Structure 1
Amino acid sequence: MTSPSGADLISALSNQMADAVERIRRSLVTVNGRQRQAASGIIVAPDEVLTADHVLERDDDLTIQTDDGRTLAARLVGRDRTSDLALLRIDGLGGDTAAQADAPARVGQFVLAVGRPSPGGPMASLGVVSAVGGPLRTRRGMIEQVIQTDATPYPGFSGGALIDVTGAVLGLFTTGLIGGVALAIPSPFAWRIAHTLAHQGHVRRGFLGISSQPVTIPPGQRAGRTQEQGLLIVRVEPDSPAYHAGLLIGDIMVGIDGVVLNDTDDLQAVLSGDRVGATVSAEIIRGGTLVTLPVTIGQRKGA
């Protein structure tokens, strides 16, 4: 029995990738929400399509085109600018083509970016996962989780799917977060946002009402803690959660709700929607003494 040749292995991988695109194609739609270029979307429920927020330049007169050639009116249910996600509802979409949130992405694995920027059928580009992580600060705000890939982002691919070589959906593809860089919102996270948008039309994001900057805490002022970094509060907004909690300019915030704060990204990661309205403990160093204050996390305006 002879082992497969290199050409056989390449052929098998090639066929597997083509099969993966075939598996996802019925879950992809063309989204018509701007003048210059149609975009893509993923069916996530029998009457719902998740797409990239930045491709919707209007809120009405929206349509989608399905794999079987139908053109259907779409209604904007909600959008989350921070994650660049928007949810559309389409009466009569039907079918069993809803994509499922699948396995997490792994750095180095082969992936396919698949979009449907025109009614002619899906398009695909090949790449690898370059990085997985978060939070990441973008021009739209702080996003909790992202996948970075070197797959080519052809025009109209935003809102499409990032899949592995079996067709499993790893994320929703977008170039709208950092100046055209190809990123994907991990599918479990994106699907959760879709669920939130379906029920309340927006995503709640936390707000304290402070401006801060990372600082190195001198050894003699760490109040018994071992961490070397903290957040120096340089502004407290009037009538904000921080103001009512008693936080002061000059305080160094070192923790909140049990999470150690070394920089502003750490703080933004804590201020997620499930903490809005919750009263948590803020740990600050004031005059070399550790002080704990209760603070009720507010909701960011426009979120």
Structure 2
Amino acid sequence: MMKKELVMANPLTDFSNGLASAVEKGGVSTILVDARKRYPASGIAYSEELVLTADHVVTREENIKVLLPDGRTLSATIAGRDPGSDLALLRLSEKGLTPARTSDNVKVGQLVLALGRPNREGMQASWGIVTSINGPTRTFRGGLLDEYIRTETTPYPGFSGGPLVNTEGEVLGLNTSGLTHGSSLTIPVKVAWQVAEALATHGTVKRGYLGVRTQPVEIPEAARKALGREQNHGLLVVWLEENGPAEKGGLLVGDILVAVSGQPVGDPDDLFSALGSDAVGKAIAVEILRGGRPETVQVTAGERK
């Protein structure tokens, strides 16, 4: 009687095939973006005709070309851009993209892949784990990221604008080297897609402003008790723009801002975060300490230019 050979499954082969499958799945929505003098960069299919990429890789206003996964080259125009978050949205000359599948389920220690299509030779990829999820942070471009992801993946040249994907090929965020000096990070998909929606609708991201200059100060214990909550710091108003939103709303130099639209503010980043696009043109509640006593004034937020 002939003996049957036992074929043992090779876990390394299964692991390798899993990574290759994730690259293949994510690759159908990873686009080459040729919009600068140097080598091309990458982008993500946001819809059938819109590509989301990194703003810093779009240095040409005209003659923008994109290479689709099926090998077609199409012309594109700028639908909108937001330098503060380093995101730009491109509109193709015709439909034909496969919109990316997304997931906002990301954890430290999770295995991920950074994808790019920086040349006509095809997809490139690197893999690693999520090392941290941080935020908020101010970028040197003047924006504020509520959250950002750090990974062990290698950001090869031309990877900016490309996706970070999970082992199912679902997009977790957009990779960029344009927000920090000397390193790369990932803008989470929930943040990137929110910006993309605004760019598709308005061409820009509106951000509110009050027309104040402030500095963080410690709130005295008596004033904290008057507030009725544990908040150690507020923002002292040291300057008001003449005829600006804050002045029109009745704020005074010497007031201490403690909350905007119900969101406590203890440093300038808190204030920046509280003045999002939904605040522009609307009357918002600004809680202050004036003479140690809590008060609330209504200020119609302007639009930051």
- Measured against the shorter chain, the TM-score band is over 0.9
Q: For 1:233 and 1:249, how far apart are their aligned partners in 2?
A: 5
Q: What are structure 1's unaligned runs of at least 5 residues?
A: none
1:252 aligns with 2:253: no
Distance 2:212 2:277 in 1: 18
Partner residue, 1:270: 274
Aligned position for 1:106: 107
Choose 16-25 or 261-270, whichever is displaced more: 261-270
Q: 1:223, CA displacement in angstroms?
A: 5.5
Indicate which of 287, 291, 296 corresponds to 1:287. 291
Contact 2:104 2:188 (C-alpha < 8 Å) held by counterparts: no
Per mean C-alpha deviation after superposition, the further-off stretch among 184-193 and 33-42 is 184-193
Partner of 1:29: 31
Give me the whole-angstrom Cα distance separating, in 1, the residues matched to 2:180 and 2:236: 27
Partner Cα distance (2:10, 2:44) in 1 = 33
CA distance in structure 1 between the aligned counterparts of 2:300 and 2:134, rounded to whole angstroms: 28
| Most deviating of 220-229 and 160-169 | 220-229
Quote the Cα distance in structure 1 between the aligned partners of 2:48 and 2:27. 15
d(CA) in 2 for partners of 1:217 and 1:155? 48
Q: For residues 221 and 202 of structure 1, what CA distance do their matches in structure 2 show?
A: 40
In 1, Cα distance between equivalents of 2:273 and 2:89: 23
**1: CA distance between counterparts of 2:111 and 2:214?**
40
Deviation at 1:74, TM superposition (A): 0.8
Cα distance in 2, alignment partners of residues 51 and 27 from structure 1: 12
Counterpart of 2:238? 234
For 1:207 and 1:134, locate their aligned partners in 2 and report how far apart those are by CA, in whole Å.
21
Counterpart of 2:154, as a letter, is T
Q: Residue deviations 1:94-135, cap 9 Å, x none?
A: 15x211332332122111110111011111111222222432
Which runs of 5 or more residues in structure 2 are unaligned? 1-6
Q: For the Cα contact (< 8 Å) 1:223–1:288, is it kept in 2? A: no
- Alignment check: 8 A CA contact 1:101 1:191 kept: no
SS at match of 1:222: helix
The whole-number CA distance in structure 2 between the counterparts of 1:180 and 1:47 is 32
Residues 224-233 or 166-175, more deviating: 224-233
Aligned partners of 2:40 and 2:119 also within 8 Å = yes
CA contact (8 A) 2:150 2:186 kept: yes
Q: Normalization by structure 1: what TM-score? A: 0.92
**How far does the alpha carbon of each residue in 1:197-223 deviate from its partner, in whole angstroms, 9 at most, with x for none?**
112111111111111121111213436
Q: Which residue of 1 aligns with 2:151?
A: 149
SS of 1:247's partner is coil
1:214 matches 2:213: no
Contact 1:101 1:187 in 2 (8 A): yes
- Equivalent pairs, count: 296
Q: What's the RMSD between the two structures over aligned residues?
A: 1.8
CA drift of 1:180 comes to: 3.5
Once the two structures are TM-superposed, the CA of residue 256 in structure 1 deviates from its matched residue by 1.3
Other-structure match for 1:131: 132
Alpha-carbon distance between aligned partners in 2 of 1:148 and 1:222, rounded to the nearest angstrom: 36
Which residue in 2 is equivalent to 1:118? 119
Is 2:300 the counterpart of 1:299?
Answer: no
Measured in 2, the distance between the counterparts of 1:67 and 1:221 equals 61
1:117-196 alignment runs, 5 A limit:
117-140=118-141, 141-196=143-198
Q: In structure 2, how many angstroms separate the alpha carbons of the residues matched to 1:66 and 1:50?
A: 13
Larger radius of gyration: 2
